[in-house]
Chains A and B, each alone.
Chain A
Amino acid sequence: MRYLVNSLLVLCIVSLFSCNLYAQDLDDLLSDLQSEVATSQDVIATFKATRVINGHSVEMLAKGDLEFRIAHRFGRLNTGAVDLWGLDLADNRIGFDYGITNWLMTGIGRSSFNNVVDYFLKARITRQQTQPQNLLQHFSINWYSNVMLDGRPNPLGSWTEDIDQRFSYAHQLIIAKKINDRFSLQITPTAIYESYVPTAEDQNLRFALGTAGRVKLTNRVAITAEHFLRIPFNGSDISPDFQQNNNSFSVGFDIETGGHVFQLHFTNSRSMVERGFIQQTNGTWANNDIHFGFNITRNFTL
């Protein structure tokens, strides 16, 4: 009798196990099959738009995409009620960006601040992968270069007489990582060359380090922040241009609706091109020299 009970028990246990094994089998089998066909994918949507706020993000336009972009900065909040906290005053940049290929985009824009016309190229070097095989594949890296032409009239002569002093150039290495589906970080080592600087002590070539981040609140709304740290020349930069200006800091919201991205932000910078917001930000957050602003884009697929 003991044997009978034991035998039945064993039968039960074994059959239970074999059932479980089958169910387990199926899921394992699917996972195995899936890992056979799985390929690493590019990480997408590290940021919502091609700009974080003022500076470029690691995002690119796709091949054939044309983006119309209006950027606008009101006056300073601390101008008070007389100027409706800055709303009476405005700077803008109107531009078009275009995706030449999936790894190369270009754009042209015109800013009211110093009548600057800018032209840029941004190229993708590498993209973060969903299944990284090496260190490089943990990051998305872009190269960005632009040229800015100061278009203000020359009080002493014709517009073209001082043309050699009107150009500035910015170069950036944009390194970003989407840490998870909500949180992305970016660092942006920057070099800016200005043909014209106010005094002899001011350096023509100067460096800055940009940092930026975004936290997604919902699928369509994110908080962004951006800071550009100007690197002092020779450790302690006493040149007037460096001393009179400040590091650019901005915080904002990205709101996405289909083909549009609305970016609303607060920043101490007036300009929306690299020379302007990195080297010519004379306001500070401490003094409430804060500008409310927005970027609006509309994407067209040509």
Chain B
Amino acid sequence: MSFSKIRFPHPFYLLLLTLLISSSVHLNAQERYKIVFPNVNFFAGTPLEDIDGTSDKLVGILDAVKNEFAFRIAMNSFQFPRALMQEHYNENYLETDKFPNADFKGSIDGNVDWKTNGTYEVVAKGEFIVHGVAKFYEIPAFISIQDGENKIKAVFEIQLEDHQIKRPKIVMLKIADSAEVTVEATLEAF
């Protein structure tokens, strides 16, 4: 029997097969989590002025199988204690009309046993796009699992210069070089 005599299945059946395989991957969908009840805060103040903004408009998904994540936040959703501060943040510094979202996408380093209670230290690695400027970040984060309730927390620094967020010299004493960002959220399977 020559090689050419072997009958391969018709491409149509192969197509069906691949569709079946890919749908079985989707059966793992419960291993995907989405962000709920987020709280994002940043502080860029100095002893002269408290500059801090808070938002609850973070969205994101975390794929526990592929260890991948994607987060996005509407930058104009940050609320400030002073209206003028909020206006300057939107108009002058983050230019939120031009750059409406900040995106953070990448992979997660570290083992998380999603079925066992505990706190797991992981590192989120990926491109963080703020003010339209992408930079690679490695952000340590904690995922805590307590009776099916999963929470994530991370604290990290952003250098304003890295994202071309410009401060005029006249306000340099009031606005810090870097912003400390705190993210807390619940991860809900979906």
**Mask: chain A, 1-42; 1 = CB below 8 Å from B; 0 = not:** 101101101110011001000000011011001101110010
Number of interface residues of B (CB under 8 A): 43
Could you tell me if B83 and A102 are in contact, using CB atoms closer than 8 angstroms?
A: yes
Docked-complex contact B14 and A30, CB < 8 angstroms: no
B77-A259 in contact (CB<8A) = no
Kindly report which residue of chain B lies nearest to residue A59, judged by CB atoms. B87
Q: Are A62 and B84 in contact (CB under 8 A)?
A: yes
Of B89-97, B116-124, B133-141, the one contacting chain A is B89-97
Q: Which residues of A contact B88 (CB under 8 A)?
A: 258
**Residues of A within 8 Å of B, CB-based: how many?**
38
Q: Which B residues are CB-close (under 8 A) to A3? A: 7-11
- Please tell me if A220 contacts chain B, counting CB pairs below 8 Å: yes
Pair count A-B, CB < 8 A: 94
The one of A15, A45, A65, A258 that contacts B91, using a Cβ cutoff of 8 Å: A45
Flag whether A158 is at the interface (Cβ < 8 A).
no
Nearest-neighbor residue (CB-CB) of B38 within chain A:
A37
Bound: A219/B99 CA distance, A = 14
Q: A299 on the interface (CB 8 Å rule)?
A: yes
Asked if A181 CB lies within 8 Å of chain B CBs, one says yes
Produce 1/0 per residue, A199-236, CB < 8 A to B.
00000000000000000000110000000000000000
Contact A299 to B84, CB < 8 A, known contacts A15-B18, A258-B170: yes
Question: Please, how many angstroms separate the alpha-carbon atoms of A4 and B10 in the complex?
Answer: 9
Stretch at the interface among B39-47, B68-76, B143-151, B153-161: B68-76
Q: Which of A6, A10, A30, A257 contacts B59 (CB 8 A)?
A: A30
**Contact status of A219 and B77, CB under 8 A, knowing A3-B10, A15-B18:** no
B95 engages A219 (CB within 8 Å): yes
Residues on B with C-beta less than 8 A from A163 are none
The chain B residue with its CB closest to the CB of A15 is B18
Cα distance, A38 to B59, chains bound together (Å): 10
Q: Is the CB of A257 within 8 A of B72?
A: no
B residues apposed to A, CB below 8 Å: 3-4, 7-11, 14-15, 18-19, 22, 34-35, 56-57, 59-61, 70, 72, 74, 76-77, 82-84, 86-88, 90-92, 95, 97-98, 101, 103, 105, 168, 170-171, 174
Pick the 9 closest A-B CB pairs, nearest first: A62-B83, A33-B59, A181-B97, A3-B8, A10-B11, A14-B18, A219-B92, A30-B72, A6-B11
